């Protein structure tokens, strides 16, 4: 094991004009702690604890830029009235010496009709098995409106004291839906060629950059692969990354998977069907999960640093910082990422289980996460807030 004083991952880093105390970022993972779309005290405490635990920056997620971009009632949506509560959160994080980022996005075709009270919007008309509903193809006027919503949400994020914004352009969210040939079947200037499919995503990054100024950090989470035939592949993802850099992105987070089709491509490990059934669902949905859940949701075996091979290709194609995500669960993983040329690592489940892991790394008494990738924390998001099942139930011991 390397001397803690020599670990590059514990050295200061920089994204845009933002200096960070180390290179470990809590990744954006939907917390389920925004009842009615507003931030709560548990959300504040969740991120304060991560900040106190030593992470350089914590990412508040998911925040929709529009009311019609939400998948759950417990997902935040950005508006003026929640800015004071968000300021309380960012102030709490700052008091612990960390920076705060907020993940901005729009669910698009997998928005929840019962939450948004209207038919979901999408790049094209598409049936979403996740919601059992068809979306409506966005008009150019609606595309322009959502682009402006991203800019307005970024401006309010700055007002709320956030140090960075993270644009969600992956995982089958709306921007990703325009990029993917699977969900973008348009025949106008927003569909067809990659250049056309990039038109809306690129305009979002440009709009935010024009709104926040030249030095404010804009991180972009994007897909390397959608995880199925007919979706975005890494060759096109590299071109997408280059365009995002051109339009003003400060850093990239290459990920993968489609929430409404291949949700566990982005996490790997166990599919928590039993815990999903116990969530707040209707009887027919519970029965469907019980009978067909293990067949409908594809399983991907967990392996450490599972996005590394494809992320290398993107890292080599851009000059802005790139954060490695996906199966980063030990000091050795983090240092390997640094040796490979990545500037930061983003960590989700390990920090949910052990929010103080960075402080413990600094003391020399943390080497690897005890997270077993059971993914029950994902199912718990729908039951009042994300937490580590194994830790709370006493299955994990310090």
Cα angle 263-164-361, degrees, rounded to a multiple of 5: 75
Q: Closest Cα partner for 122 from 174, 70, 181, 50?
A: 174
Q: Which of 173, 265, 300, 396 is catalytic?
A: 173
**Helix (H) / strand (E) containing 44:** helix 41-52
| Cβ-based neighbour number of residue 207 at 10 Å | 21
Measured at the alpha carbon of residue 67, what is the angle toward residues 46 and 123, in degrees to the nearest 5? 110
Q: Which two tokens stand for residue 303?
A: 């392996």
Q: Quick check: is 173 catalytic?
A: yes
Quick one: 370 exposed, middle or buried, by C-beta within 10 A (0-12, 13-18, 19+)?
A: middle
Tell me the backbone φ, ψ of residue 384, rounded to 5 degrees. 115, 0
CA 50-52-55 angle, to 5 degrees, is: 55
Write out the DSSP string of 116-152.
HSSPPEESS--EETTTTEE-EEPPHHHHHHHHHHHHH
User: Is 66 within 8 Å of 106 (Cβ atoms)?
Assistant: yes
Q: How far apart are alpha carbons 129 and 358 in whole angstroms? A: 39
Residue spans of beta strands (DSSP E) within the chain = 13-15, 18-20, 24-26, 57-64, 76-77, 99-105, 121-122, 127-128, 133-134, 136-137, 164-169, 218-225, 251-256, 323-325, 344-347
φ, ψ for residue 104 (rounded to 5)?
-110, 135
Return the beta strands (E) in 202-286 as ranges. Answer: 218-225, 251-256
- Active-site residue numbers? 173
């Amino acid at each position: 094991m390397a001397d803690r004083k020599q670990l590059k991952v514990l050295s200061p880093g920089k994204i845009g004009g933002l200096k960070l105390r180390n290179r470990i970022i809590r990744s954006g993972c939907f917390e389920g702690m925004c009842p009615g779309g507003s931030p709560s005290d548990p959300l504040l405490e969740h991120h304060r604890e991560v900040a106190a635990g030593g992470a350089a920056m914590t990412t508040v997620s998911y925040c929709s830029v529009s009311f019609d971009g939400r998948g759950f009632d417990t997902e935040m949506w950005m508006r003026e009235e929640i800015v004071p509560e968000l300021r309380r959160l960012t102030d709490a994080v700052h008091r612990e010496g960390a920076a705060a980022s907020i993940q901005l996005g729009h669910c698009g075709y997998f928005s929840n009709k019962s939450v948004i009270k209207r038919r979901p919007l999408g790049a094209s008309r598409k049936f979403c098995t996740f919601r059992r509903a068809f979306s409506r193809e966005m008009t150019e006027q609606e595309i322009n409106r959502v682009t402006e919503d991203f800019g307005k949400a970024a401006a309010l994020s700055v007002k709320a004291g956030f140090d960075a914004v993270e644009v969600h352009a992956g995982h089958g969210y709306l921007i990703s839906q325009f990029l993917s040939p699977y969900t973008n079947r348009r025949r106008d200037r927003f569909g067809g060629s990659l250049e056309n499919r990039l038109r809306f995503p690129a305009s979002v990054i440009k709009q935010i950059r024009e709104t926040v100024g030249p030095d404010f950090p804009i991180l972009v989470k994007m897909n390397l692969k959608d995880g199925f035939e007919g979706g975005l592949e890494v060759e096109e993802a590299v071109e997408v990354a280059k365009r995002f850099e051109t339009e003003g992105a400060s850093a990239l987070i290459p990920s993968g998977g489609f929430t409404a089709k291949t949700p566990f491509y982005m996490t790997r490990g166990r599919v928590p069907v039993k815990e999903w059934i116990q969530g707040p669902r209707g009887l027919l949905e519970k029965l469907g999960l019980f009978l067909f859940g293990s067949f409908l949701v594809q399983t991907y075996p967990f392996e450490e640093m599972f996005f590394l091979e494809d992320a290398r290709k993107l890292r080599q194609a851009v000059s802005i910082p790139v954060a490695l995500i996906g199966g980063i669960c030990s000091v050795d993983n983090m240092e390997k990422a640094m040796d490979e040329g990545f500037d930061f690592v983003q960590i989700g489940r390990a920090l949910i289980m052990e929010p103080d892991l960075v402080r413990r790394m600094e003391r020399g008494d943390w080497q690897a996460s005890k997270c077993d990738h059971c993914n029950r924390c994902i199912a718990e998001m729908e039951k009042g807030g994300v937490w580590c099942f194994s830790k709370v139930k006493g299955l994990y011991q310090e």
